[in-house]
Amino acid sequence: MTGVARAQLPRSAASADFKVQNGNIKQSIMGWCFKDHFDALALAKHCKDIGLVAMEGISPSFYPEVKKIGLEISLVSSHGFAKGPCDPEHFDFAVAELEKSINIAAEFGSKKVITFTGMRFDGMDEEKAIADCLKAWKKVLPLAEEKGVTIVLEHLNSRDDTHPMKGHPGYFGDDVELCFDMVKQIGSENFKLLFDIYHVSIMNGDVIRRIRQYHELIGHYHTAGNPGRAEIDDTQEINYPPIMREILKTGYDGYVAQEFIPTWDDPVLALRHAAMTCDV
C-alpha cells in the first residue's frame, strides 16, 4: 500500500498495515475521542505504531509514560470550554488553571496550552465579556512568554446540539472572526488561535481561504469529519488532503491533532485511515 492521500480518501482505502510515510504533517491524537476503546497508554502504543508523533487531551499523569513510548505532548488542557473568563464567576478559576497548565507544559516540553472563552450567561454584556477574556489572557501571558509556551484559543461550534462533544450551544467564542480579532488584540506570538477545521466548517466555512488569510495567527489545528464528528472519510463533506497541503504551504510546522470520534468497528483502522488521509 503506497499510502498516497487523495481527495476524500474512501473507507475502502483503509489499510491495516499503513504507517505514516511522508511525515510532512506532524500528526497527533486527541485522547478523549478514543477513551471508550483504549486507555491513554494503549492508545499511545497504537499511535506510535501508526507513525503519529504526539498526543493531547489526556491526563498529565500519563505524560511520563507517553514520552517514554516516544511521543510528545502536543497540547496541554486547562480550564475547559464551559468555565471560561468571559464569565466573571469563572475568571479567577480560568486564570489559575491556565497558570497551572503553562507550568505543566514547560515541565514536559510541550509548547501549547489550550484556552476557551467559556459559555454565555444571563445578562452577559458582549463587550465586557470580550474585555474580561482579554484581561485574563494578558494576565497569564507573561508566564507563557517566560516559559516559551503558546496559549491557543479554541473556536467551537454552537450549532450541533446532538452530543455534548459534537457541538457546544451557548459557547461565546463560536464566531471564528471574533476569535481571530481577540488574538489580534492580544498581539503576542505566544497567543494564537486553535483552528479546529470541524468547528470552523460548521460555523463559518471557507476553510482554505481562512487558513490563507489568517495563518500567521494560527497556532494549532484539529480535525474531524462533518457532519457527526466521525472519521474523515468519504461519507462526510470536509476534503482533508487539500486542506493539509494548504497548511503546509503556509509554512506551519506545528501539530495537527486527529479529534474525531470513531464509529468504525475497528477504531485503530479508523485512525490509520485518518493518518493516511493527512499524510500528504
Whole-number pLDDT of residue 14: 87
At 12 the pLDDT is: 87
Contact call for residues 262 and 270 (beta carbons, < 8 A): yes
| Nearest of 166, 158, 152, 280 to residue 225 by alpha carbon | 166
pLDDT at 8: 73
The confidence score (pLDDT) of residue 57 equals 98
pLDDT per residue as tens digits for the range 140-176: 999 999 999 999 999 999 999 999 999 999 999 999 9
Q: Which three cell numbers stand for residue 163?
A: 452530543
Side-chain half-sphere exposure of 126, counting CA atoms within 13 A: 9
The domain segmentation of the chain, as residue ranges, is: 11-278
pLDDT, tens digit (0-9, with 9 covering 90-100), for 221-249:
999 999 999 999 999 999 999 999 999 99
pLDDT of amino acid 6: 53
pLDDT under 50 in the chain at which residues?
Answer: 1-5
What would the CATH number be for the domain defined by 11-278? 3.20.20.150
pLDDT at 11: 87
